[in-house]
Chain A
Amino acid sequence: MTLVDPELDAIRSGDERIFEELTRRHYPAMLRLAMAYLRDREAADDVIQETWVNFLRSLDRFEGRSSLRTWLFGILTNIARARRRREARVITFTSLFGLLPDSRGPTVDPKRFGKNGTWLTDPPSWSQVPEQILEGQETLAQVKEAIEALPPKLREVIVLRDVAGFSADEVGQALQISTGNQRVRLHRARAAVRQKLEDYMR
């Protein structure tokens, strides 16, 4: 399938305004994705710059089989992963935890269930939490922190799916991972963020 993309045409014809618009619009999600691999904002911005330069260079080869966004984020992923490998001189906690996504362990503390596998105590209800608190800046800061603490393999998936709002297909293409693998990672990521929120709301 070839997609008709007026923005792509505009860029090909050298429209600076559209290009700027595009770089602005995609910046937040690109930054979060780059930060999934690199902790430092400056390095992330470098990766974003390299991504756009690469994007322009490969414009001729882009055949529109994926969306422009998927293609762009695919480039970003490759560059950020490569840079992270180069810079991973020290074995950090994060890289150790990077092994976790492939593990099959439970995402909810087993101690919360009785011998028969049912909840010992139900999780608390959030329906009584006022919206200003539930969606307040402090709660969102918890979400952000929880996502930043995830190993990169989990972070890249939740950032694209839940933060940036990509579809499952788009994420599969951008990260080159299977749908099944994506769901496993997404589940682990969401469960970790949920736990952090539960602790915070307590």
Chain B
Amino acid sequence: MRCREVVELMTDYIEGALSESDRARFEAHLSTCDGCTRYLEHLRTTIRLSGKLGADTIPPELEAELLNAFKDWKSRG
């Protein structure tokens, strides 16, 4: 396996979707390749940072409209 191919397998690796033999080859490559090890770290960091994106809060008007919709739905029972 070459770096060029290894980088394209990284999400499959992270997701646990590689076959056992591919995973073994992948990990063997990583154990001797700083570049791919870093690339994998980059992807893991990318995933972690995506999960930290700030949460917008619901606008009060929308919240009020949703509550009205709920009351409506309830009254129609």
Flag whether A107 is at the interface (Cβ < 8 A).
yes
Partner of A117, one of B2, B59, B62: B2
Q: A residues within 8 A CB of B33?
A: 118-119
> In the complex the two chains form, is A163's CB within 8 Å of B53's CB?
yes
B-contact 0/1 string along A166-179, CB 8 Å cutoff: 00100000000001
Q: Is A158 an interface residue (CB 8 A)?
A: yes
Residues of B within 8 A of A127 (CB): 41
Structural contact, B46 and A193, CB atoms closer than 8 A:
yes
Contact with A along B46-60 (1 / 0, CB 8 A): 110111111111110
Q: Which of A53, A123, A158 contacts B39 (CB 8 A)?
A: A123
User: Contacts A27-B57, A117-B5, A163-B53 hold; do A20 and B67 have CB atoms under 8 A apart?
Assistant: yes
| Dominant secondary structure at the A interface | helix
Is A39's CB within 8 Å of the partner chain B? no
- CB pair B66 A107 closer than 8 Å: no
B contacts, CB < 8 Å to A: 2-5, 7-8, 10-12, 15, 17, 33-36, 38-39, 41-43, 45-47, 49-59, 62-63, 65-67, 69-71, 73-74
Task: Please list the residues of chain A having a beta carbon within 8 angstroms of any beta carbon in chain B.
Answer: 14, 16, 19-20, 23-24, 27-28, 31-32, 45, 48-49, 52-53, 56-57, 106-108, 110, 113, 116-119, 121-127, 134-135, 139-140, 143-144, 147, 158, 162-163, 165, 168, 179, 183, 186-187, 190-191, 193-194, 197-198
